[in-house]
Structure 1
Amino acid sequence: MIVLFILGIIAAIVGFLIRWSAKTEEKDARMGGGITLGVGSFMVILSLILGSLVAVPAGHRGVIVRFNAVTGRTLEQGLNAKIPFIDGVRHISIQSFKHEVPASAASNDLQTVSTTIALNYHLLPEGTSEVYRTLGHTGIQEYIVRFADPLIQETVKQVTARFQAEDLILKREEVKQEIAQVLTQKLTERFIVAETVSITDFQFSATFTASIEAKVSAEQAVFEAENKLRRIEVEARQVEAAAVGEANARMAQAEGEAEYITVVTAAQVAANNAISETLTDAILQYILLDRLGGDIKLMVIPNNQGFDLVLPSIE
């Protein structure tokens, strides 16, 4: 653009000189000089207009530099205005990026712990001028490596040291949230916005891993033994309940039978008493004769004084 401006200046000067030096009667020379002057002036104006406009791509911010010095002014995405030929624009991305950092630390019980921190981030738009002032054109990735990586290592060590190694496994979500909270605060001071912070599984030494597996196996064996004991106790209570139920059933049956015999006996006694009260000698004699066959005419029965001779009556 500055080349167009310079050419326009030159053309305008040449045209002016031609027009000024030409005599009045030299119409063609004066006309040619006027055309050259007009073209040069147009080129100057066009270069000034184009030089004052700049387009910032989407997902970027434009950092204004003046004579290669950062002014602190930034441009939004889209078409913007600047001072032509004096101000320059450097495009800095504020899009999201992913960065992974391996980290190691010591737990509260001095167990070595290794993990990987996955960070999704973007630059704070208000901090693009500072980022460019710090690193120039080396890029955002270099900025992250230089400033974010040490902060990640420091945060992991700081948070991990407050937990026992076993708690790092059992309270993984709590550890993750604390690391993310502390790291987000520290990165913001460096104009880095942490969108998400992910932590891979913690890795321990082979000795500690073996001890954890042995502890888990022992706890599982105890759990299975307790379950077996509870099952045996339940089965024993079931057998006991069945025996008690059967004994109660037999006792109830025996009590029922005894009560039945008592009732029947009482009824029989009552019946016998009732019969004994109504029987007379005449009735007994009648019953006796009624039981005899039709061909029996004579019957001798004993009594207290000897024998009585009972003759059936013949009508």
Structure 2
Amino acid sequence: MKNNKLIISGLILVVVIVLFIFSGTTVASGYRGVLLQLGAVKPTILTEGFHFKIPFIQNVEQVEVRVQKEESSQTAASKDLQMVTANVAVNYSVDPGAVNKLYQEIGPDYRVRIVDPAIAESLKAVTAQYTAEELISKRPEVSAQVKDMLAKKLTKYYMILEDINIKEFAFSEEFNKAIELKQTAEQNALKAQRDLERIKIEAQQQITQAGAEAEALRLKKQEVTPELIQLKQIEVQEKALEKWDGRLPSVTGGATPFIDLGGVEKK
């Protein structure tokens, strides 16, 4: 009898230990626990740390609520029917207060079923509103619209969009060549326009300079009077007298040079 009691006590102890082990669960940091009772989702959400549950009747599924990153390459068509490939990086998280609803309505594979399709659909809907060139020049505006649309889609499924980054838009080789040719033509046109403006400015400067010289010549002509001419003649004669040594040249070659001494005496 004593041995039987010891065996029964040992069995009871083992059962107690097993029940204790299976009645406890730990929710990891950055997760929330979805409590399932015989497969049914309960409204209780378990936070981080240790919790008790009914052994063999209740179990806990953990759902990550930290920020997660989804990066993918998406292909879409622009407004002018150019095929564009975009590398999109999305940061999102699960609403901690709705992990039970997410698990019940979508399941643990919410990334494949919701996030990836929502990214592709949002990007295609927005890029269809812009031409290929606008997608390049208005990337911040495009990103903002994609973010707004994607946020609304994820919110419906108990997820929160943290941020989105469209890293680059890639186009076909033909389109890239067309853009390069267009840029070259625009640069040549700009250079030609600048050269034309420079030529116009130089021509205007020459016209202005010629006008100034003509005006200066006209003013000089207005300053030439009979009195000024006579004064200049007297100055020339005076300089000639200052240099004359009083002797006439031995060879005159015809007529003797005439010097008007009357003008000197009058002076």
TM over 0.5: yes
2:36 aligned to 65, 70, 73, which one? Answer: 65
- 1:109: which partner in 2? 80
What is the aligned-residue identity percentage? 33
Who is 2:48 aligned against?
Answer: 77
Q: Which residue does 1:222 correspond to in 2?
A: 189
> Structure 1 residue 208: deviation in Å?
2.3
1:100 aligned to 2:67? no
Which of these residues, 231, 240, 243, is aligned with residue 198 of structure 2? 231
In the TM superposition, what is the alpha-carbon distance from 1:69 to its structure 2 partner?
Answer: 2.4
- Does the residue aligned with 2:169 lie in a helix, a strand or coil? coil
- Looking at structure 1, the residues matched to 65 and 193 of structure 2 have their Cα atoms a distance apart, in angstroms, of 59
Equivalent residue number for residue 164 of structure 2: 197
Count of aligned positions = 227
**Take 1:40 and 1:108, find their aligned partners in 2: how far apart are those partners?**
74
What SS does the corresponding residue of 1:214 show, helix, strand or coil?
Answer: helix
Q: CA deviation at 1:57?
A: 2.2
- The Cα of 1:108 is off from its aligned counterpart by 2.0
Question: 1:73 and 1:243 mapped to 2: Cα distance?
Answer: 96
Mapped to 2, the partners of 1:257 and 1:91 lie a distance apart of 110
Classify the secondary structure of the residue corresponding to 1:202: strand
C-alpha distance in 1 between matches for 2:29 and 2:220: 95
2:155 counterpart of 1:188: yes
Indicate the structure (1 or 2) with the bigger Cα radius of gyration: 1
Q: Comparing 190-199 with 233-242, which one deviates more in the overlay? A: 233-242
Mapped partners of 2:106, 2:28: distance in 1: 21
Q: Which amino acid aligns with 1:223?
A: L
Shift of 1:94: 0.9
> 1:255, CA displacement in angstroms?
5.4
The secondary structure found in structure 2 opposite 1:217 is helix
What's the counterpart of residue 174 of structure 2?
207
Any stretches of 5+ residues in structure 1 without a counterpart?
1-13, 19-31, 265-315
Match of 1:311 in 2: none
Counterpart CA distance in 1 for 2:30 and 2:201 is 68
Shift, 1:129, TM fit: 1.6
Q: 2-side partners of 1:107 and 1:230: how far apart?
A: 38
Decide whether aligned partners of structure 1 residues 178 and 256 sit closer, same or farther in structure 2, where only a CA change above 3 A counts.
same
Distance (Å, rounded) in 2 between the aligned partners of 1:186 and 1:99: 15
**What is the alpha-carbon distance in structure 1 between the residues aligned to residue 12 and residue 174 of structure 2?**
82
Aligned counterparts of 1:256 and 1:53: Cα–Cα separation in 2: 119
Alpha-carbon distance change, 248 to 129 in structure 1, aligned in 2, over 3 angstroms? same
Q: Which amino acid aligns with 2:113?
A: R
Task: Tell me what 2:60 maps to.
Answer: 89
Cα deviation, 1:93-115, whole Å, max 9, x if unaligned, reads 11122111221122222222221
Structure-2 separation of matches of 1:248 and 1:55: 101
Q: TM-score, normalised by structure 2?
A: 0.70
In the TM superposition, what is the alpha-carbon distance from 1:210 to its structure 2 partner? 2.0
Give the partner amino acid of 2:119: I
What is the Cα deviation at residue 53 of structure 1? 5.4
1:157 partnered with 2:128: no
Tell me by how many angstroms 1:254 deviates. 5.6
What's the offset of the Cα at 1:164?
2.1
Cα-to-partner distance string for 1:9-53 (whole Å, 9 max, x where unaligned): xxxxx99x85xxxxxxxxxxxxx89xx59x968984x87777665
Return the offset for 1:204: 2.1
Q: Structure 2 stretches of 5 or more lacking a match? A: 232-267
Show the counterpart of 1:275.
none
Q: Using the TM superposition, give the Cα deviation of residue 227 of structure 1 relative to its aligned residue in structure 2, in angstroms.
A: 0.7
> How far does residue 192 in structure 1 lie from its aligned partner after superposition?
2.2
8 Å contact from structure 2 (residues 25, 53) kept in 1: no
Deviations 1:258-282 (A, max 9, x none): 6x959x9xxxxxxxxxxxxxxxxxx
Partner residue of 1:122 out of 61, 81, 93: 93
Cα distance 1:128–1:248, how it changes in 2: closer, same or farther (>3 A)? Answer: same
User: In the alignment, what sits opposite 1:244?
Assistant: 211
Higher relative contact order (CA 8 A, sep 6+): 2
Q: CA RMSD in A?
A: 3.5
